[in-house]
Structure 1
Amino acid sequence: MIRFDLDPYAPDGDEARRWAEQELQNPRYADAKPTWFDYLAEDVAEFISDLFSPEAGEQVGSTALVIVIIVVVAALITVLILWGRPRTSRRVKRRGGELLGERDDRSAAQLRADADRSAREGDWDAAIIRRFRALARGLLERDIVDPTPGATAQAIARAAAAALGAHGDELASAARLFDEVRYLRHPASEQTYRELVATDELISRARQAVAA
């Protein structure tokens, strides 16, 4: 008896396995395999999905707080670096550099000591010049004045009087004495030097006005 329900072309088990292996060797199946980028994208998507899950809510809150603290600390450090370094450079600059048209790196204390030494030697002209330079340097070191490069003695005196709110006459007289000795070659004396010393000591004790 012939059975018509059997397919004469149906392979047996071994033949079917061989056909399947041959089919899987086709390049189109290799192209369809997930790449490393596909696996990475899947992992990222899974991580983002986990962040919004209820179980991760508490952990994400703590992580976000840590991130915010780190950002704030980094911002504060940046502000301190950007704001603090110019101020340091500014203080260093005030201790040296150009002063009354000449390069002079001496501090106010050094200039006063040099002026007193010139006075002891009887060189009143040098004593006057150095003492007024000490007065001007002291104003710069105390941040009372911030003159532009090449500022004159009169300009420094006016700026100091405005910042202190007082002693305008004494400062103007001291600046005029400096100009007369330094540029007009008027001879100084012990009396004029003592007057300048008194003015320097007065300004050294003066406090900056609140309005300034």
Structure 2
Amino acid sequence: MTLSVPVEPDAPDARELLLNELTDPAYAESQPTWFDLVTQAVLDWLGSLRLAGGEGPPALAFAIGGIVLAAAIIVALLIYGVPRWRTRSRLQVGDLLGENDRRTARQLRRDAERAAAASDWPLAIAERYRAIARSLDERTIVAALPGTTAHGFARAAARQFPDHRSELSAAADRFDEVRYLGQPGSADGYAFVRALDETLEAARSPLPAVDAFAAAGAS
């Protein structure tokens, strides 16, 4: 009795054999991943760009890629960088002259005016001085870093506004008096700090680049 072994399987058998082969884990593991395919495509592109008549690494491709990347970074910084950094600074820096405070300068001024209307001079003076610090920080003129004291901030601000050095120091004195020395403050003291805040707010930034970037971000 002769047993015949089919050399060529029929269509259904061939399809089943192919499916079994493709579902074999060893076959699946041997296939390149999407990352392998992308990497190979990039390498092939870089390899096709070589210096004329030269062998070795594709120097021209790397030079072109570096120029394109640098240009993209510069454009992104000019268009989006500064406004986003300013927003990030306002959101992340919570410490303001010894308090965990995330209010904007506008909010601090509003709260200072409310305290002044109630004749709460210690709170009004402290809030208005914090408004000065927050405003200059928002304008990226002076950074209100965690741990900065009232006089430390006054000295930093005086370097940018030297014509107001004495007023900044006096305003820091009034802040320390009501904040740490328990003094009651006064309407005159609040009026002094408020006037300084309004003067600095109306003054042009001593850093022209900051105004240029801010204007570009606002447009």
Identify whether the pair has TM-score above 0.5, normalized to the shorter chain: yes
- Gap runs ≥5 in structure 2: 1-47, 54-59, 210-219
For this pair of structures, how many residues does the alignment match? 153
Contact 1:164 1:207 in 2 (8 A): no
TM normalised by structure 1 equals 0.61
Partner of 1:170: 167
Q: Please give the alpha-carbon distance, in whole angstroms, between the structure 2 residues aligned to 1:75 and 1:205.
A: 37
Which structure's CA Rg is the greater one? 1
1:86–1:100: structure 2 CA closer, same or farther, 3 Å change rule?
farther
Higher relative contact order (CA 8 A, sep 6+): 2
Percent sequence identity over aligned pairs: 44
1:126–1:147: structure 2 CA closer, same or farther, 3 Å change rule?
closer
Matched AA of 1:72: I
Cα distance, 1:140 vs. partner?
0.5
Runs of 4+ that moved beyond 6 A:
65-70, 82-86
1:139–1:192: structure 2 CA closer, same or farther, 3 Å change rule?
same
Q: Please give the alpha-carbon distance, in whole angstroms, between the structure 2 residues aligned to 1:120 and 1:186.
A: 19
Partner of 1:77: 72
Cα distance, 1:126 vs. partner?
0.8
Matched AA of 1:152: T
Cα distance, 1:125 vs. partner?
1.1
Deviation readout 1:29-72 (Å, 9 max, x if unpaired): xxxxxxxxxxxxxxxxxxx9xxx89xxxxxxxxxxx99976763
After TM superposition, the structure 1 = structure 2 runs for residues 151-166 of structure 1, keeping only pairs within 5 Å, are 151-166=148-163
- Gap runs ≥5 in structure 1: 1-47, 54-64
Q: In structure 2, the residue corresponding to 1:166 is in which secondary structure?
A: helix
Q: Please give the alpha-carbon distance, in whole angstroms, between the structure 2 residues aligned to 1:94 and 1:74.
A: 26
Q: Please give the alpha-carbon distance, in whole angstroms, between the structure 1 residues aligned to 2:114 and 2:189.
A: 16
After TM superposition, the structure 1 = structure 2 runs for residues 49-198 of structure 1, keeping only pairs within 5 Å, are 72-80=67-75, 87-88=82-83, 90-96=85-91, 97-198=94-195
